[in-house]
Chains A and B, each alone.
Chain A
Amino acid sequence: MPYPVRVIPASEAAVETLGLRKTYRTVRGRAVGIDGLDLRVPAGGLHALLGLPDSGKTTALRLLTGLARADAGAIKIFGVPVPDGLPGLVGRIGAVVGEPGFQPWLSGRRNLGLLASVAGVPRTRVDEVLTRVVLADRAKAAYGTYSAEEESRLALAAALLRDPDLLVLDEPSAGLDAVGTREIRQALRRLADQGKTVLVATGVLTEAQQIADTVTVLDRGRVLAQGSTADLLGDAKVSVRVRLDEPAKAATALRAAGFAIRSDGDALQVDGVAEPSDISRALAKQKLFAGELVPQREDLAAVIGRLRPVAPPVPKPLSRAEERAARKAAEQQAADRKKAADQRKTDQRKADKEAAAKKAADADQDETTKRAEEER
């Protein structure tokens, strides 16, 4: 099947897609991975593809990097049609999509060396990128002995080998601890600040809020919203509920550290917190330790629920049995209504009769009284 032709007008965007569609064959038929994706990643800065699992983030990156082929639609990277023009973009794109496929028996340095020999990059560049991702100390250790964080760093180093203009990363902080996550985010932010275009697929709302300049929210393979992170998601600041033994002392300590405090029963509410661990640190300095520290923020599912267009309820067509049951119920209701009306009429008639009889009796009584008075 020839690659479907869709024309994207020239623009300043680093990545643009138009009507991109990708389906997969499954045992239950065809599953839609991406459905009419119109993506626009501005050149320079960090763009996040944000979405719940199976929203099509990884599929989109696989299509952009030529690892998968689209069923329909068009892609342009730096104005070059992809995948046909990918060989012309060699050196301008660095990507880590899925497992990087390093050899566990080789050292990190050797693994990078192999990729460098493929890319035609001098060996000195390997040491440069290893230093850049702070992995020079572990460069000679076998890749199989690396921690999750070191694996991510090496993958990032591989993507940086050719000093690319566009960096494509899938779930860069997946499997990392808090420190590793923060460091990898800082590294990506630094690259974006240096003028590179960084495209990150993530399912972590705070990651997008903390590091992304622009964001595309994906839902079921479609673009739900696209724009600046601040406009779409707000900032990453949260309100944190803190419960501890000495709330008064804690409140003083936190106020001194510059936090805005509210009293919330026997707990403290700290508003506008960028990083909840800063609260623990401020308390620990005063030898105070929180028994409960709960960040209360909008999660990704809530954001997607907020952004998802509200569809008008579509009347569900009834089955024959349901139609019969509905007709029967309507008939029953009509019969009940008629019966009730008849009953009301009968009651009315009875009441009228009784009233007439009473009136007649009263009249008779009046007549009798009148006659008796006349006789007297």
Chain B
Amino acid sequence: MTGLLWAELRRFGTRPANLWIAAGMLLHVALAVALTAFEAGATTLAGMLEQGQISFYAMTSVFLAYVAGVLLVTGEAASGGTRALLTVEPRRGRVYWTKLAAAGLAAVPGVAAAYALLAVGMYGVHARVGLLGGPSSDLVVAMTWSGVRVLALAVCAAVGGAALGVLVRRWWVAVALAVAWFLVEQQVVLTSTSGAGTWGPFTNADMWVRGTRTVLSGEGALAGPLVHSAVLLLGVTVVLAVLGAAVFRRRDVP
């Protein structure tokens, strides 16, 4: 099992597309920090955290982790790799769960580096002009926990991406599905039905990263928005993973 995981991680790390994705994550947050530096007086760091600007920047890294997860299992290189693995390890379940584990683990370094750059950069930019907007220790704690939540979300996104990649087989279908779902959730669900948005994965992902403390449900069914978001996002990931496992066990390897 360890050998299988190691092989998948090596394969993940050597694919140029994944290296470009990691570079894209870093470039994106570097640009965000640079742009903030130009208008450093506009808002405080505490304000940015509360308004969700930091989570907005971090969500791009999460989306790229999802794409990386999709790319681990789609395309000719992935099919060839799966064929080669199955000839030496014909236990399909093992191969599948290892792929998902590799996707989740492989997303961590890139997203962690990107978030570290974002957090340190933003803190530095605002500290330089004296616009932290709160006690620095509180801000550090808030940003650290936000980073932990971003990492957890990125792992879920990469695992979900890999599972969806197994289901739909083509990377562009999996990516287009995510984009389409996002647009539907933002443009249709959130505007048409009040309350329906609390069940949308993207809304909950945003709430999870922000760490919103406002209780959304007045019925008392949920302990709080963080738990609600965590359960929903984890549920979506588990459902996708289980569906992917069922399909991977039965389907022919191309």
A29 contacts the other chain (Cβ, under 8 Å)?
no
Which residues of B, 46-87, contact A by the 8 Å Cβ criterion? 76-77, 79-87
Considering only CB atoms, which chain A residue lies closest to B2 in the complex?
A117
Please pick, from B4, B10, B86, the residue contacting A106 in the complex, using a CB distance under 8 A: B10
Enumerate chain A residues within 8 angstroms of B3, measured Cβ to Cβ: 116-120
A204 contacts the other chain (Cβ, under 8 Å)?
no
Docked-complex contact B88 and A115, CB < 8 angstroms? yes
Scoring A66, A93, A118 by chain B CB atoms within 10 A of each residue's CB, the highest score goes to: A118
Docked-complex contact B88 and A101, CB < 8 angstroms? no
Q: How far is the CB of B230 from chain A (nearest CB, A)?
A: 34
Docked-complex contact A100 and B89, CB < 8 angstroms? no
A83 contacts the other chain (Cβ, under 8 Å)?
yes
> A68-B252, A68-B253 are contacts. A90–B83 as well, Cβ < 8 Å?
no
A86 contacts the other chain (Cβ, under 8 Å)?
yes
Docked-complex contact A117 and B6, CB < 8 angstroms? yes
Docked-complex contact B7 and A117, CB < 8 angstroms? yes
Docked-complex contact A90 and B90, CB < 8 angstroms? yes
B128 contacts the other chain (Cβ, under 8 Å)?
no
Docked-complex contact B7 and A115, CB < 8 angstroms? yes
Of the four ranges (under 10, 10 to 19, 20 to 34, 35 or more), the interface on chain A belongs to 35 or more
Enumerate chain A residues within 8 angstroms of B149, measured Cβ to Cβ: none
Docked-complex contact A66 and B90, CB < 8 angstroms? yes
Docked-complex contact B90 and A118, CB < 8 angstroms? no
Considering only CB atoms, which chain B residue lies closest to A1 in the complex?
B250
A69 contacts the other chain (Cβ, under 8 Å)?
yes
Q: How far is the CB of B36 from chain A (nearest CB, A)?
A: 36
Alpha-carbon distance between A329 and B122 when the two chains are bound, in angstroms: 95
Enumerate chain B residues within 8 angstroms of A106, measured Cβ to Cβ: 10, 14
Enumerate chain A residues within 8 angstroms of B81, measured Cβ to Cβ: 101, 103
Enumerate chain A residues within 8 angstroms of B11, measured Cβ to Cβ: 103, 114
| 17 A–B pairs (Cβ distance < 8 Å), ordered by A | A67-B253, A68-B253, A97-B83, A98-B83, A100-B83, A101-B77, A101-B81, A102-B84, A103-B15, A106-B14, A114-B11, A115-B7, A117-B2, A117-B3, A117-B7, A118-B4, A162-B88
Q: Which residues on B are within 8 Å of A, measured CB to CB?
A: 2-4, 6-7, 10-11, 14-16, 76-77, 79-91, 250, 252-253
